[in-house]
Structure 1
């Protein structure tokens, strides 16, 4: 019985060729790898360490398959034609990543990308030789198509309310299922709900769907049996509806481009069939898209079995009707069509006419859908997305900015590149404005950044050679079954790579696997042109195999080592969820760092723990360990902001203010648009300069003030530049002269005798809720400081309460709300610090009410130890006074939070005044600080 993808020629070839029994192990292993990989090998951007272990397991599987291939092919392997030479050439791709490792901006990310590229090379080699055998080719193509269809249904299960079924199907082996639900199979952003299936990113899922939409049409037309036509025809509507549900404008823009390109490879009869099937499926999909969209949106809010059944009915009926119509076209119209235009098809350039016509039709459809009310037939969310397609909308402008910034990185790392993950490690240093994007949204530019011009030339030479050789042979011998098989793989590789011009699809290891399997499928179908140079000597053949084995052994060792390290790091995180034991959490971290001393997450967790313990007992052993761990980590990860922040925290605990400022100063060029880096840089420089001024150390005063004013000028210039951005381009993260910056820079001007400039800076930074304070005539007076501190507390308390309530009621840690609270608290605390510095820490510098709110801000900001000292200093003996009782309450709660010994005297007096205070103390101590 013929396969649903293949025709009579493939069936005859299969009958004439038998797969050796010994090869079945490799074939089955390869298929199992294909089934496992989509639900495990996701996005790796150097930050999501949950994906570490699956990546290393994938490399391990690739190594094992390559070992098995060597064992099966070592006698038959020959370097006699260009296809064999590609098995050698592909090793140059991981080699370029190995070279870039020596100049990498992040050793951790570069090493992981080297492993991923090595896995791609292993899969390419194995695929290249497996796919030369036609029967194996049939099996692997159907396995790829089956996996793709399963991914489509997996996504629709999540969209139509059956997320528990979808999660249950893969939860036993996938690390992305939480509480029975696959994470972000349906994501939410500013555009609303977007379908992502396994990818957790709608645009990449759109690229995947686009590729397999055309594969399904190709398989449908190529099938000779009814069930093959029906299966592939049935899948067209689910694929198109899923594509619409991604709301991906890039997918909708690239789909007609890829479609027209693929038409160029077909004879006129097949071009017509491609267009007919796409029109049938498109009409059916648009007909059900609106109800399926609305039902999915409804089901995301409330469970509704009847609505889910209705949604499935729409989808399945439309799919069945489409399948039937496509079968009718193939069964009755296709043979007549091929016969009737056979003579016309042989004319020169006839295959260009329909693509040109299709281009005109696509342009007309685009005009109607984007520029007229015709788009109202689509769901509202899709209509809105189409309405916003233009070259001035923010996502387009942002991508152009990414591309320009990527070229800046390349200019500084031209030959070997910045190593794997180079963009993620460096983009904040080169960015044009304060966007957040650890991906360059262009695979080719990102590849250029990572391996430089040398590696980019190697990669482009490799893929262009494969495409050129295959396409040239296909156009001359397209009737040959080998080339038909190869076209299946060309569709996959071409679709994904073209879409990757606009997005970071290839940052998903599974998409990379599909591309390299696609390249191998094309290479397997290439003409077996003999090599002009005598490569087929036994020395070269066995030398290659020996080199492959040695490289694979090294990868195997590294993968196993990294799996052990990843397991240990995961254990530490799991233990930290249930235990507060320092030694218990530390043990797996030490294990994780044994073989990877610069593993970012493990370094940060261990350093944070050491800092915390040091703050409690002042044992220098913990400070020394923290410093050693961070110093070693920063050797390989000099751009890791979290490691630098832990180093700053350590210096602060040790009272090394100058060293902490030096970290901010020496790394400010890495984070040129991070206002949270420049705020402490300016305020710390102001504080240290003011101290030096009070100590009459003019040299230090000038040094620190220059640092602060230079940083302030950078912020002012940045704010002015952001006003020149195109109107459609979003600025990105906040970047402005904040009240905290205004306090620091204004103080510098005031101390240096320029009160007018100080007032101007305050007016620049004190806006909105602080604006009335900036216009007062008593700037910098004690009364002004008191009012500023009170205002900061009031403005920070509201978002803190909102954040805390969401945290305890829904477990939602809203970082944007928390950042708002922290920013206001920081302003008030800096105002307090300025006065305390000038008064040499006089305890009576502020009234007790102000001292109370300062202590509260310190407690809620996470500086509980300082809060203890502040609150204690403000206490009086009058426990009939409500403010004094509140001071005592927060003071005792802070002690309890630190697990310190209770101040029994204060406690007894407070309880004597009000017995209900005990419960209030416990309530405050249970509150979670912002950091």
Structure 2
């Protein structure tokens, strides 16, 4: 069978084929979508209110484009070859997310994920058919590269202190511009300022830059026009420099790996050109890296800088590199082609340079890490390089995330815990009290979300597309290979980096990957699937109907959810500006009507209803809030904020036992939340003490035993944290607080075990007994010692010196209990 893209006859026919009006609409719509989407913070799937609306708009736009696609390709689609059936197979990916709704840890997150996966499927299908046309392929490829270059320059403008200027240009169509500044285009952390551009996360930006750095190098070597070569060469230094400014260790580690693997797909002449351009771009970048880095750091540290000076360095290096590239392509590239002809014809001839590159990379890494060569880089970049090792805290933390993800998978093995579940469920399974709403690995997060079944389907789909692409690539001529290799570069680079980061949580990145997969699949041979005996017209009709109905459903769902989002925002605004209960409640009611159980709507309505009950004590307010929260928690069983609202409601009505049950029953879901356990231990004592006052000894013992179990959970957790590897940070604070020691010690004492209470209380005693809590702990501690026939003269003298009356109080405690 001939290849529809790589085959000579088919390629010629498509070259002369004009695009229909519907296809033009589809093409323009997709291009506009690609321009719009990255400036919505990369459409980050953070699954919170601020990020939700742009994602819903993306789903809406993607669904509209899908309907246009059906109109464009209904007559030409036959569903009788492998490409057509690949367009069917992609639908199994969102279907696995629909199945995961059954066991979803968060219905809200899982539904959003279903919408996103359908968007990805639509992008793949559109690209699969659209990119088979040479005109459309050229337009989409050019648009993707242009958008990438705009993102790079946007980031550098922000780095050099001109963020307000470029933010004003994009501010009219993105909600990510706050107070005239694109939010977190420069990420500030313990390492100082880090470049993040539109993604608000440096590591994902590094993955994006890595992909398009190689795209630019490939575009230089492919193009025959000098001005096209100059444009791509001009961008090499800005992209290489931006990679350094992200301070992403993952980007620096994966960059040579991806580079070497990509070399395997090139003939020796182009391998040499790639290596040459990387060396030239690297040298040009190193020459300007320090002054440009210093200028950016000065600005973001509140000092006066000179952006014109920074741009002079960048533009000068870029222009020089562009000129050099044009000269290389004009004079050196042809010579290399002729000189390596025999080399290229030899078996495994294209392996020599990649193998040599491995050795060269190893030498460079050794020099950078083991010598003073790293000092040619700006200080913080050199320090980041120096800290690359398997014992570095970010590596250790990622391994911990992966181990914890396996724990989740054991509980949700087949269909997973639902889309976005890691953000909801990780606190139950975490090894230590870190905060990470992302698993920092596409594979591990995917396993958590859709289980082994969904992962096998996704992996099988990816392997099939890669296999068919590589098989077609090997069999085709060089000119035909070049038409779609850019998509392979993008997909491969991003997926490789995503092994250890959450790049695919950015919907724009996901869209790029699935468009890229569609471009790779567009090269697939058109071998007929003879086993499918159904009529082409029938299959076409069924498939088109399904896609139109799915698109219409997603359009109306997206619109409804966007309206709910708008209503929530309106309600939140009115809560700050209005005192009219009905005016505030109306938009929140509307939001819950359009999307019941939306966490933000539920929490805001809960605040409103709780205030009403607190002021009036009317049962209607209580009942409405109670029903609201309990129903919402059926869909969001891990939402800590909802549990907090429910406990507060119980306490308002004096139902402290019910509030306690919520606290105790859900403690296992927040195993490393120190505040949760401190409250649980305190409430165990209070309720147990009340039961003691009511002469209910059995109930007292129950509360006290529960409280002590919680206390020992904290003690065991503190001991566990001591076993963490030396380089790993524990995360949030987790310790036995003085309040925990006091309440646990009192419970142990009142259970008639003063000898066990003494060490618990002693652990909470501070050197300085100046505050009331410390004095109370000391008093109970000394009473426990006295009761068990022991003493601590040092603590006793300190306490009596502060308050002599404590002597009598200690004796009374020892006598009473």
How high is the TM-score relative to the length of structure 2?
0.92
**Map of 1:308-707 to 2, 5 A cutoff?**
308-481=307-480, 483-534=481-532, 537-707=536-706
**CA gap 1:381/1:215 in 2 versus in 1, 3 angstroms:** same
Task: Give yes or no for the alignment of 1:256 onto 2:256.
Answer: yes
Distance in 2 (CA, whole Å) between partners of 1:291 and 1:14 is 50
How far residue 353 of structure 1 moved from its aligned partner, in angstroms, is 0.5
**CA gap 1:752/1:163 in 2 versus in 1, 3 angstroms:** same
How far residue 754 of structure 1 moved from its aligned partner, in angstroms, is 2.9
How far residue 118 of structure 1 moved from its aligned partner, in angstroms, is 0.3
Preserved CA contact (<8 Å) 1:572 1:585: yes
Distance in 2 (CA, whole Å) between partners of 1:768 and 1:326 is 70
Distance in 1 (CA, whole Å) between partners of 2:64 and 2:724 is 52
Match of 1:59 in 2: 59
Task: Give yes or no for the alignment of 1:206 onto 2:171.
Answer: no
How far residue 547 of structure 1 moved from its aligned partner, in angstroms, is 1.1
Residues 235-285 of structure 1: per-residue CA shift (max 9 Å, x gap): 000001111000000000000000001001101100000000011001001
How far residue 761 of structure 1 moved from its aligned partner, in angstroms, is 1.5
Distance in 2 (CA, whole Å) between partners of 1:38 and 1:188 is 21
Preserved CA contact (<8 Å) 1:762 1:774: no
**Map of 1:733-882 to 2, 5 A cutoff?**
733-767=732-766, 779-780=778-779
User: Equivalent residue of 2:752, what SS?
Assistant: coil
Match of 2:5 in 1: none
Aligned-pair RMSD on alpha carbons?
2.2
How far residue 12 of structure 1 moved from its aligned partner, in angstroms, is 8.4
How far residue 616 of structure 1 moved from its aligned partner, in angstroms, is 2.4
Distance in 2 (CA, whole Å) between partners of 1:295 and 1:14 is 50
How far residue 103 of structure 1 moved from its aligned partner, in angstroms, is 1.1
User: Equivalent residue of 1:531, what SS?
Assistant: coil
How far residue 619 of structure 1 moved from its aligned partner, in angstroms, is 2.1
Residues 862-894 of structure 1: per-residue CA shift (max 9 Å, x gap): xxxxxxxxxxxxxxxxxxxxxxxxxxxxxxxxx
Match of 1:235 in 2: 235
Preserved CA contact (<8 Å) 2:41 2:199: no
Preserved CA contact (<8 Å) 1:130 1:137: yes
Distance in 2 (CA, whole Å) between partners of 1:212 and 1:728 is 33
Preserved CA contact (<8 Å) 2:41 2:198: no
Distance in 1 (CA, whole Å) between partners of 2:142 and 2:43 is 25
How far residue 772 of structure 1 moved from its aligned partner, in angstroms, is 9.2
Match of 2:132 in 1: 132
User: Equivalent residue of 2:187, what SS?
Assistant: strand
Structure 2: gaps spanning 5 or more residues: 1-7, 784-808
**CA gap 1:193/1:773 in 2 versus in 1, 3 angstroms:** same
How far residue 763 of structure 1 moved from its aligned partner, in angstroms, is 2.3
Match of 1:267 in 2: 267
Match of 1:77 in 2: 77
How far residue 574 of structure 1 moved from its aligned partner, in angstroms, is 2.3
How far residue 175 of structure 1 moved from its aligned partner, in angstroms, is 0.8
Match of 1:881 in 2: none
Distance in 2 (CA, whole Å) between partners of 1:372 and 1:492 is 34
Residues 691-731 of structure 1: per-residue CA shift (max 9 Å, x gap): 11122101110110111011111111111111111111111
**CA gap 1:321/1:710 in 2 versus in 1, 3 angstroms:** same
| Structure 1 stretch displaced more, 61-70 or 759-768 | 759-768
**CA gap 1:19/1:777 in 2 versus in 1, 3 angstroms:** closer
Preserved CA contact (<8 Å) 1:607 1:630: yes
Preserved CA contact (<8 Å) 1:159 1:296: yes
Match of 1:832 in 2: none
Residues 796-847 of structure 1: per-residue CA shift (max 9 Å, x gap): xxxxxxxxxxxxxxxxxxxxxxxxxxxxxxxxxxxxxxx9xx99xxxxxxxx
Preserved CA contact (<8 Å) 1:161 1:303: no
Preserved CA contact (<8 Å) 1:41 1:55: no
**Map of 1:36-47 to 2, 5 A cutoff?**
36-40=36-40, 42=42, 44-45=44-45, 47=47
Preserved CA contact (<8 Å) 1:42 1:51: no
User: Equivalent residue of 1:78, what SS?
Assistant: coil
Residues 409-459 of structure 1: per-residue CA shift (max 9 Å, x gap): 011101110000111111111111111101000001101111111111110
Residues 388-423 of structure 1: per-residue CA shift (max 9 Å, x gap): 111011101111111111011011101110000111
**CA gap 1:9/1:676 in 2 versus in 1, 3 angstroms:** farther
Distance in 2 (CA, whole Å) between partners of 1:781 and 1:723 is 29
User: Equivalent residue of 1:55, what SS?
Assistant: helix
Distance in 1 (CA, whole Å) between partners of 2:768 and 2:221 is 66
How far residue 776 of structure 1 moved from its aligned partner, in angstroms, is 6.9
Preserved CA contact (<8 Å) 2:164 2:180: yes
User: Equivalent residue of 1:705, what SS?
Assistant: helix
Preserved CA contact (<8 Å) 1:766 1:773: no
Match of 1:815 in 2: none
User: Equivalent residue of 1:193, what SS?
Assistant: strand
How far residue 783 of structure 1 moved from its aligned partner, in angstroms, is 13
User: Equivalent residue of 2:197, what SS?
Assistant: coil
Distance in 2 (CA, whole Å) between partners of 1:26 and 1:211 is 26
Structure 1: gaps spanning 5 or more residues: 1-7, 785-834, 840-931
How far residue 682 of structure 1 moved from its aligned partner, in angstroms, is 0.6
Distance in 2 (CA, whole Å) between partners of 1:156 and 1:211 is 18
**CA gap 1:310/1:107 in 2 versus in 1, 3 angstroms:** same
**CA gap 1:407/1:782 in 2 versus in 1, 3 angstroms:** closer
Preserved CA contact (<8 Å) 1:597 1:632: no
Preserved CA contact (<8 Å) 2:43 2:54: no
How far residue 171 of structure 1 moved from its aligned partner, in angstroms, is 0.6
User: Equivalent residue of 2:500, what SS?
Assistant: coil
Distance in 1 (CA, whole Å) between partners of 2:477 and 2:113 is 37
| Structure 1 stretch displaced more, 251-260 or 525-534 | 525-534
How far residue 777 of structure 1 moved from its aligned partner, in angstroms, is 10
How far residue 645 of structure 1 moved from its aligned partner, in angstroms, is 0.6
| Structure 1 stretch displaced more, 261-270 or 547-556 | 547-556
Residues 759-815 of structure 1: per-residue CA shift (max 9 Å, x gap): 32222234476699899798337999xxxxxxxxxxxxxxxxxxxxxxxxxxxxxxx
User: Equivalent residue of 1:645, what SS?
Assistant: helix
Distance in 2 (CA, whole Å) between partners of 1:754 and 1:331 is 90
Residues 631-663 of structure 1: per-residue CA shift (max 9 Å, x gap): 111010010000001101111111111101100
| Structure 1 stretch displaced more, 640-649 or 293-302 | 293-302
Preserved CA contact (<8 Å) 1:289 1:378: yes
User: Equivalent residue of 1:194, what SS?
Assistant: strand
Match of 1:917 in 2: none
Distance in 2 (CA, whole Å) between partners of 1:452 and 1:766 is 48
How far residue 47 of structure 1 moved from its aligned partner, in angstroms, is 4.7
Higher relative contact order (CA 8 A, sep 6+): 2
How far residue 485 of structure 1 moved from its aligned partner, in angstroms, is 1.9
Distance in 2 (CA, whole Å) between partners of 1:319 and 1:109 is 44
How far residue 46 of structure 1 moved from its aligned partner, in angstroms, is 5.2
**CA gap 1:401/1:187 in 2 versus in 1, 3 angstroms:** same
Distance in 1 (CA, whole Å) between partners of 2:120 and 2:778 is 64
**CA gap 1:243/1:738 in 2 versus in 1, 3 angstroms:** same
User: Equivalent residue of 1:765, what SS?
Assistant: coil
Preserved CA contact (<8 Å) 1:152 1:239: yes
How far residue 343 of structure 1 moved from its aligned partner, in angstroms, is 1.6
Match of 2:160 in 1: 160
Distance in 1 (CA, whole Å) between partners of 2:776 and 2:737 is 21
User: Equivalent residue of 2:433, what SS?
Assistant: coil
